[in-house]
Amino acid sequence: MIASYFQNMPEIMTRAIVVGTLVSLCASLLGVTLVLKRYSMIGDGLSHVGFGALAIATVLHVGKASMAVSLPIVMLAAFMLMWLTEKRRMQGDAAIAVLSTGAIAVGTLLFRFSDNQYQDICNSLFGTASMALLSDTDMWITVGVSVAVIMLFILFYTRIFSVTFDTNFAKATGVHVGAYSMMLAALTAVTVVIGMKMVGAIMVSGLIIFPALSAMRVAKRFRSVMITSAALSLFCFFAGFFLSLLIEAQPGPAIIAVHVLSFLVCSFIGALKTRIRARKTRSIVVEPPCKAER
Amino acid sequence: MALITFESVGLSYGGDNVAHDVSFSVQSGEFWGIIGENGSGKTTLMKALLGLIPCASGRIVLGDGLKPNEIGYLPQSSVIQKDFPASVDEVVLSGTIGWRGMKPFYGKKERALARKNMEMLGILPIAKKSYQELSGGQQQRVLLARALCATRKCLVLDEPTTGLDPVVTAEFYRLLNTVNQNGMTIIMVSHDVEEAVRSCTHILHLSCHPLYIGTAAEYKNSPIGRKYLKETAL
């Protein structure tokens, strides 16, 4: 397999890089809002639903267009989770736990009917061995929806900020907060489904949460957090992807591993920044009386 | 016509009746203090005015061309996450969201208004600073500037001085009085009875239903006002 991989290098590389870039951008932009709204676990829950949805797609033998099946299922689950959380019909974290373990159980049972059970489960959980396995249909779906996600994000940027920062204020000034929550749920569902192909169901929430968390360690303005998050996500994708080629490993775990590393580096820089700032303010407070004594 | 009229408004919160028969009207330029003990329904009344919850009975009528989304709101500072990454100007600009339509980005008009309000409240020098690194008093001014960006007519404040030290509190009330004298109608929910009586023009003393509605000067000399002021002074 590795041999054929290198034979078709140019086409595979372009495909992987285009998809990877778009997915990384989507995940990083969305991640900031999800983390700040304390919705990180929704992304995680949805990824498990995605695993179940992939199982359904496999059993239905729609292999080439698996996303056409998994997208609506995951989106439905996202709306349901958001509705349960907002209406407080059920505790959000409990709802997520129930939904995600249920989806894993049903999914694993369904994979029983696939011709290639273990390979399929492995691919769904940890990402395809190479992104060349992405079918044409899936690739175009990925490109289409990720461009849509990025566009929506840019168009609604100021409103998303307002709703995330202070929901009540946004509501009082006439923003349809409910509609934005649902949009956020839909965007998360989309990002989980397209990201899952790249890094697998288990790790896709890392793709969403890591860049946002790392960016928040070093940047303190909303816009710079967004930009840093996007930049970090792209960097980690490229570094992880080429690392995976170098050591002939799956790209998914390699990308997430680089994310972990970048989070550690950002945390260190953030701590250093805070310390320097603290020292600066302390010296400002202390200086005047010293001068007075002289 | 009055700016805001409450017509025998009744409110419930989580199935419980928290206020009933609240009728009063606010004229342009007045500064109302809504006071009362915890659970007296004052915060719920304010939420109904902002349209965050519906009235269980009665209605709230807006006059003088005031639209529901043209009320500037200053929430308790505790509702905002302490670690939210946002700069002062980003927060203030977000106040313009209600009236600038579907435009995706802030234009010159929005930036000019934000600048004007930041200048008036003395936070222009810290416009690029991060909100999370400010002191409580500075954060409150930022939220006030945001509320001023949302409205030209009416401000609603929810316990604006909770957690501020006395010096900063006095300064904040001075700012509010300036804003009020420039023609802004203010409705403030407050624990701080003494300060409310000193700064406000009118008082609504709520205890599930109104115990007093009228001017602040008369409240001070009314039996209920004297009693409450004495109790809270201890």
Confidence of residue A7 (pLDDT cuts 50, 70, 90): low
Q: Report the gap between the CA of B194 and the closest CA in chain A (Å).
A: 28
Give the total residue count for chain A. 294
Who has greater pLDDT, A5 or B47? Answer: B47
Q: What is the pLDDT of residue A294?
A: 37
- The answer to whether residues B151 and B96 touch, using CB atoms and an 8 Å cutoff, is no
- Domain-located, residue A22: yes
% of residues, chain A, pLDDT over 90: 46
Q: Tell me: pLDDT of B63 over 70.
A: yes
Radius of gyration of chain B (CA): 18
Residue whose C-alpha is closest to residue A109's, from A179, A162, A56 = A56
Rounded Cα gap, residues B138 and B121, in angstroms: 9
Identify which of B69, B80, B94 has the shortest CB distance to residue A158.
B94
Structural domain contains residue A291: no
Q: Model confidence over A128-141: pLDDT tens digits? A: 766 656 778 888 88
What's the pLDDT band for B92 if we cut at 50, 70, 90?
very high
**Nearest Cβ partner for B69 among A166, A174, A222:** A174
In this prediction, residue A47 has a pLDDT band, given cuts at 50, 70 and 90, of very high
pLDDT higher than threshold 70 for residue B234: no
Identify from A169, A177, A277, A280 which residue to disrupt to test chain B contact, counting B C-beta atoms within 10 A and taking the largest count. Answer: A169
Q: How confident is the model at residue A61 (pLDDT cuts 50, 70, 90)?
A: confident
pLDDT attached to residue A289: 41
Q: Find the CB nearest A157 among B81, B87, B104.
A: B104
Cβ within 8 Å, pair A174-B68? yes
Rounded mean pLDDT, A38-58: 88
Q: What is the mean pLDDT of residues A72-84?
A: 89
**A141 assigned to some structural domain:** yes
* Length reported for chain B: 234
User: Does residue A81 fall inside a structural domain?
Assistant: yes
Span A266-275, pLDDT tens digits: 999 999 988 8
* pLDDT value at residue A225: 96
Q: Where are the extended beta strands (E) located within chain B? A: 4-13, 16-26, 31-35, 57-62, 71-74, 154-158, 185-189, 202-207, 209-215
Q: Is the pLDDT of residue A291 over 50?
A: no
Find how far residue A151's CA is from the centre of its chain.
17
A13 located within any domain: yes
Segment A208-255, tens digit of pLDDT: 999 999 999 999 999 999 999 999 999 999 999 999 989 988 888 999
Residue with tokens 């080629």: A245
**What is the pTM (predicted TM-score) of this model?**
0.86
Among B183, B190, B167, B226, smallest CA distance to B74 is for B190
Which tokens in the block code for residue A237? 């994708």
Task: Let me know if residue A140 belongs to a domain.
Answer: yes
What's the mean pLDDT when you consider all of chain A? 85
Are B73 and B50 a contacting pair, CB within 8 Å?
Answer: yes
Is A221 in Cβ contact with B105 (below 8 Å)? Answer: no
A221 and B86 in contact by Cβ < 8 A?
Answer: yes
pLDDT tens column, A159-204:
999 999 998 898 888 888 889 989 999 999 999 998 988 888 889 9
Q: pLDDT class for A207, splitting at 50, 70, 90? A: very high
Contact residues, chain A to chain B, C-beta under 8 Å:
36, 154-159, 161-162, 165-166, 168-175, 216, 219-225, 277
CATH number (domain holding residue A275): 1.10.3470.10
**Does the distance separating the beta carbons of A220 and B132 come in below 8 Å?**
yes
Chain B residues closer than 8 Å to A150 by CB: none
CB contact under 8 A, A161 and B94: yes
CA distance B162 to chain A (A): 18
- What is the tens place of the pLDDT at every residue in B145-178? 999 999 988 999 998 888 888 888 998 999 999 9
Q: Looking at the complex, report in whole angstroms how far the Cα of residue B86 sits from the nearest Cα belonging to chain A.
A: 4
Nearest-neighbour CA in chain B from A168: distance (Å): 7
Q: Indicate whether A194 belongs to any domain.
A: yes
Specify the number of domains making up chain A.
1
Q: Give the CA dihedral A63, A69, A74, A80, nearest 10 degrees.
A: -150
> Would you say residue A32 lies in a domain?
yes
Does the distance separating the beta carbons of A170 and B105 come in below 8 Å? no
For residue A224, give its domain range.
2-282
Q: What is the mean pLDDT of residues A71-98?
A: 83
Q: Report pLDDT for B165.
A: 86
Nearest to B130 among A36, A169, A221 (CB): A221
